[in-house]
């Protein structure tokens, strides 16, 4: 591409809410065959809210509030968006949080800490299985909430499951039509997420995605992109989180959500300022126009 056509393309991108960092990505975008979308904050709004709180004994309110106090106190030490949702929920219930010792975060699994001499662990079902924590008491509710597209985290105290929190994160209304348009252009659309398979599947069916790669550890997201590239595909990755940065950098075209983290934006070739996935369609059209003007 000539410098002039690239300049024109970059300017048109800016007019359409797309920041184009590398000329190369503008030349490559029309060749994308597979587009991998992060779930949380990319397909969804990334504003998780606690909608359900279910405890094992389901008895006195006092117990439930105490459990919330333990959970909120630990989550206050975490920077994860889910943690923020949990802390907000405890505040809405007028729970007063307390100090935590030995806080630890396990990427892709959950968090733990010592609160009032209790070991409190909050996280995924898979992590609880690894820890040998029996989830049977709440298994039905856990599965039911996940089928409703909610992310569910368990709360264990001293190695016993005590409760679960259902956390909802609505799909961006524009995601549905944008994904359909990308598929109509002949692209294969894939969802990539650290969240559990059942929740991922429920969100995927809302937006018409058929291929899901779920329960992927943050350290493994880039490897998933490389696997698709090894099949001979030109791959774009779209994401917003710190977790997504290595995958964004590995992809042939890395696309960041403008409302996402600075780390994701820095690792990307293109940034969608408003976070609307329809801008990807625009970027591909712009790429095609830029290339055909040159030839
Ligand atoms: P994502 O791809 O959605 O950003 P992560 O890899 O960050 O996912 O996390 C995967 C899963 O690990 C989350 O869906 C959640 O169940 C669990 N998890 C991570 N951090 C926390 C936390 N602070 N509190 C509770 N659960 C957590
Ligand atoms: Mg995300």
Per-residue pLDDT of 97-117, as tens digits, reads 999 999 999 999 999 999 999
- Domain of 286, CATH number, reads 3.40.50.1000
221 and 288 share one domain:
yes
Q: Name the residue among 128, 245, 160, 142 with its Cα closest to residue 199.
A: 142
Q: Within this chain, do residues 174 and 290 fall inside the same structural domain, yes or no?
A: yes
Contacts of 60 by beta carbon, 8 Å cutoff, 6+ apart:
none
Rg (CA), the chain: 21
Give the number of whichever ligand sits closest to the CA of residue 44. Answer: 2
Order of strands across the sheet that contains 49-55: 49-55, 160-168, 151-157, 118-123, 110-115, 101-106
The pTM of the full predicted model, rounded to 2 decimals, is: 0.92
Catalytic residue among 38, 195, 240, 244: 38
Burial class (CB in 10 A: 0-12, 13-18, 19+), 176: middle
The model's pLDDT over 232-287, given as tens digits with 9 standing for 90+, comes to: 999 999 999 999 999 999 999 999 999 989 999 999 999 999 999 999 999 999 99
Name which residue sits closest to atom 6 of ligand 1, judged by CA. 108
Report which ligand 1 atom has the smallest distance to the Cα of 221.
2
CATH number at residue 79: 3.40.1110.10
d(CA 43, CA 45): 7
Task: Read off φ and ψ for residue 141, nearest 5 degrees.
Answer: -65, -40
Minimum CA distance residue for ligand 1 atom 16: 124
Does pLDDT of 60 surpass 60? no
Residue finishing a domain among 120, 140, 168: 168
Please check whether residues 93 and 15 belong to one and the same domain. Answer: no
Query: To the nearest whole percent, how much of the chain has pLDDT over 70?
Result: 97
Q: Give the closest residue (by CA) to ligand 1 atom 20.
A: 110
Q: Where are any strands of DSSP class E within 89-206?
A: 101-106, 110-115, 118-123, 151-157, 160-168, 188-192
Same domain as 80, residue 184: no
> What pLDDT is stored for residue 294 in this prediction?
58
Pair 122, 200 in one domain = no
pLDDT at 9: 82
Q: How confident is the model at residue 61 (pLDDT cuts 50, 70, 90)?
A: low
ipTM, interface predicted TM-score of the complex: 0.95
Active-site residue, 38 included: yes
For residues 224 and 274, what is the distance between their CA atoms, to the nearest angstrom? 26
User: Is the same domain home to 88 and 188?
Assistant: no
166 to each of 146, 150, 155, 194, how far by Cα in Å? 8, 6, 11, 16
CB under 5 Å of ion ligand 2: residues: 38, 40-41, 240-241
Element (H, E) at 51: strand 49-55
Q: Are residues 11 and 104 in the same domain?
A: no
State the ligand closest to the CA atom of 193. Answer: 1
Same domain? 151 vs 226: no
Same domain, 157 and 142: yes
List the residue whose alpha carbon is closest to atom 27 of ligand 1.
110
Tell me, yes or no, whether 205 and 228 share the same domain.
yes
Q: Are residues 67 and 94 in the same domain?
A: yes
- Tell me which residues have their CB closer than 6 angstroms to ligand 1: 39-40, 75, 78, 80, 82-83, 108-111, 122-124, 151, 153, 193-195, 218, 241, 243
Task: Say if residue 58's pLDDT is above 70.
Answer: no
Ligand 2 centroid, distance to 85 Cα (angstroms) = 15
Instruction: State how far Cα 30 lies from the chain centre.
Output: 25
Tally of domains in the chain: 2
Look at residue 256 in the predicted model and tell me its pLDDT: 95
Q: Domain ends where: 106, 138, 168?
A: 168
The domain of 235 spans: 3-46+170-294
Q: Are residues 217 and 161 in the same domain?
A: no
When pLDDT is averaged across residues 67-78 and rounded to a whole number, the result is 97
| Locus of tokens 């917003």 | 240
Ligand 1: which atom is nearest the Cα of residue 152?
A: 16
Last residue in a domain, options 168, 185, 218:
168
Band (pLDDT 50/70/90 cuts) for residue 226 is very high
pLDDT of residue 132: 97
Which one of the ligands is nearest to 164 CA? 1
């Amino acid at each position: 591409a000539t410098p002039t056509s690239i300049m024109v393309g970059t300017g048109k991108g800016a007019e359409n809410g797309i920041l184009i960092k590398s000329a190369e990505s503008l030349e490559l975008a029309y060749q994308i065959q597979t587009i991998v979308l992060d779930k949380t904050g990319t397909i969804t709004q990334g504003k998780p809210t606690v909608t359900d709180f279910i405890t094992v004994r389901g008895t006195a309110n006092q117990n439930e509030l105490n459990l919330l106090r333990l959970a909120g106190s630990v989550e206050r030490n975490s920077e994860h968006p889910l943690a923020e949702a949990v802390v907000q929920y405890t505040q809405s219930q007028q729970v007063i949080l307390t100090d935590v010792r030995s806080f630890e975060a396990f990427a892709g699994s959950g968090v733990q800490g010592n609160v009032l001499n209790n070991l409190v662990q909050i996280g995924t079902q898979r992590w609880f299985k690894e820890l040998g924590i029996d989830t049977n008491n709440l298994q039905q509710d856990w599965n039911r909430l996940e089928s409703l597209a909610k992310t569910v985290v368990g709360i264990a105290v001293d190695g016993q499951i005590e409760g679960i929190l259902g956390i909802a994160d609505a799909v961006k209304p524009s995601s549905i039509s944008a994904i359909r348009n990308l598929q109509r252009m002949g692209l294969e659309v894939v969802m990539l997420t650290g969240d559990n398979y059942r929740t991922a599947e429920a969100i995927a069916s809302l937006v018409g995605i058929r291929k899901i790669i779920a329960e992927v550890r943050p350290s493994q997201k880039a490897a998933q992109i490389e696997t698709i590239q090894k099949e001979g595909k030109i791959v774009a990755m779209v994401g917003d989180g710190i977790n997504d940065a290595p995958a964004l950098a590995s992809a042939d075209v890395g696309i960041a959500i403008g409302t996402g983290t600075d780390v994701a934006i820095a690792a990307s070739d293109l940034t969608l300022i408003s976070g609307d996935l329809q801008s990807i369609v625009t970027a591909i059209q712009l790429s095609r126009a830029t290339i055909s003007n040159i030839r």
